[in-house]
Amino acid sequence: MSRNPPSNSRAAALRVEALDVSFPQASGTTRVLDGLSFQLQPGEIGCLLGASGCGKTTALRTIAGFVRPDRGCVHLDERCVASREQWVEPEHRGVGVVFQDYALFPHLDVAANVAFGLRAMPAAQRPARIAQMLDLVGLPEIGGRFPHELSGGQQQRVALARALAPAPSVLLLDEPFSNLDPDLRERLALDLRDILKRNGTTALLVTHDQYEAFALADGIGVMNAGRIEQWDTPYRLYHQPATRLVADFVGLGAFLPGLLAQRDGNAHVHLELGCLPIRARTEQAMAGVTANAHGEVTVLLRPDDVVHDDASPLRAEVVRKAFRGAQFLYTLRLPSGTMLLALVPSHHNHAVGERIGIRFDADHVVTFSPGPHDAAGEPVTVRDA
């Protein structure tokens, strides 16, 4: 699978081509973006997802016009606005930005904050545009209030209304939910997606939180060391990760040793849970067959791939349990000592130390070549960003 999104013959609203950015350090220079490439079609919502230091914020700042690239180009509506040879100042790019801290002016009321980007609009037309934007974000009655009188979620919506008021060609969102309570983030992300889709806005979000990315974006690029490991839909990133790094970063998972084989013309993988048919032949699985003469692979198991089944002969010991309301997240130990995770409906309340029946249930198997980091019996890799 390609590390970058495929090219498209349609004119892109945003196109980033082979972007390199380096910053000086005491010991020399550090490359932060390394050949970064992706594009968004008009009305598409994209996301750069990754851990701190992966380069996602630098990418956003380069698109916005706060950082000049060493190589490559940023195109907005097919116009190059940033390269070594060409440069358009931020205020002339037609890009809106919603910052992490919202950056509302505390001495201005909500209406005046929204009006800030409308200075080029005739004064007589501004009140209608302000009212339209506040109605779009679901806050039609608060124009006369000040930022300190608003909740965090309301401030975020006002910042969005201000960024959308000048009708930017692209909206950039820099970790817009990081200052909100966790239980509010996903709901506001879904609300924000509805707003952007109703308005037909092309948008790019940068975040370290996969749940925000899943709720908001049409396509997500998982970043590592200044490059995109995989650009795909949220579903495919979770169920068909292209690399071990993507599998490890997106969602919870366990990595078990397995052996690929052909039987009756069909591919199977043998592991401690049994012999599993590969009904959807992922690129990773077939690469493992051809690249490894012994067929040794590492199999990715998501918690929803492991089903609690009292009738199953395979038993696993409950090592840890985390109550999540409708479900328990169980950490289980197989007879070999290998650890894995299972999501089980919460009415199955098993004690730590209890042995329960489990079986595998998924419509595809994802495998990777075994590496030196795979160690039998080591705790399951867990990431819950």
Q: CB 128: neighbour CB atoms within 10 A?
A: 10
> Lowest-pLDDT range, 38-47, 118-127, 222-231?
118-127
Radius of gyration of the chain (CA): 24
Angle at 51 between CA 45 and CA 52, to 5 degrees: 110
Instruction: Considering only residues 6 and 270, tell me which one the structure prediction assigns the higher pLDDT.
Output: 270
Mapped onto helix, strand or coil, the DSSP state of residue 5 is coil
Rounded CA gap, 189 and 183, in Å? 11
Mean of the per-residue pLDDT values of the chain: 86
Q: Is residue 83 part of a domain?
A: yes
User: What is the pLDDT at residue 179?
Assistant: 77
Q: Taking 70 as the threshold, does the pLDDT of residue 338 lie above it?
A: yes
The string of pLDDT tens digits covering residues 265-283 is 677 788 888 887 765 544 4
Rounded CA gap, 175 and 57, in Å? 9
Rounded CA gap, 381 and 339, in Å? 9
Q: CB 256: neighbour CB atoms within 10 A?
A: 22
40 and 180 both lie in a single domain = yes
185 and 333 both lie in a single domain = no
The string of pLDDT tens digits covering residues 188-241 is 888 899 999 999 999 999 999 998 999 999 999 999 999 999 999 999 999 889
Q: How many domains does the chain have?
A: 2
Rounded CA gap, 151 and 267, in Å? 55
pTM: 0.86
Angle at 317 between CA 311 and CA 320, to 5 degrees: 125
Q: In this structure, are residues 315 and 357 in contact, taking their beta carbons and an 8 Å threshold?
A: yes
Q: Is residue 209 part of a domain?
A: yes
Q: Taking 90 as the threshold, does the pLDDT of residue 258 lie above it?
A: no
Q: Taking 60 as the threshold, does the pLDDT of residue 377 lie above it?
A: no
* CATH code: domain of residue 265: 2.40.50.140
User: What is the pLDDT at residue 180?
Assistant: 79
Q: CB 93: neighbour CB atoms within 10 A?
A: 19
336 and 196 both lie in a single domain = no
The string of pLDDT tens digits covering residues 181-190 is 777 787 888 8
Taking every pair of Cα atoms in the chain, the longest distance, rounded to a whole number of angstroms, is: 76
Out of 216, 244, 272, a domain closes at 244
Q: Is residue 274 part of a domain?
A: yes
Q: What is the mean pLDDT of residues 240-254?
A: 89
* CATH code: domain of residue 185: 3.40.50.300
Judged on CB neighbours under 10 Å (0-12, 13-18, 19+), 177 is: buried
> Lowest-pLDDT range, 6-20, 207-221, 361-375?
361-375
Owning domain of residue 194: 14-94+168-244
Out of 210, 244, 278, a domain closes at 244
Q: Is residue 134 part of a domain?
A: no
Tokens coding 220? 């997500």
Q: Is residue 163 part of a domain?
A: no
Q: Taking 70 as the threshold, does the pLDDT of residue 78 lie above it?
A: yes
Q: Is residue 291 part of a domain?
A: yes
Q: Any residues with CB less than 8 A from the CB of 9 and at least 6 apart, and which? A: none
Q: Is residue 44 part of a domain?
A: yes
Q: In this structure, are residues 155 and 102 in contact, taking their beta carbons and an 8 Å threshold?
A: yes
212 and 318 both lie in a single domain = no
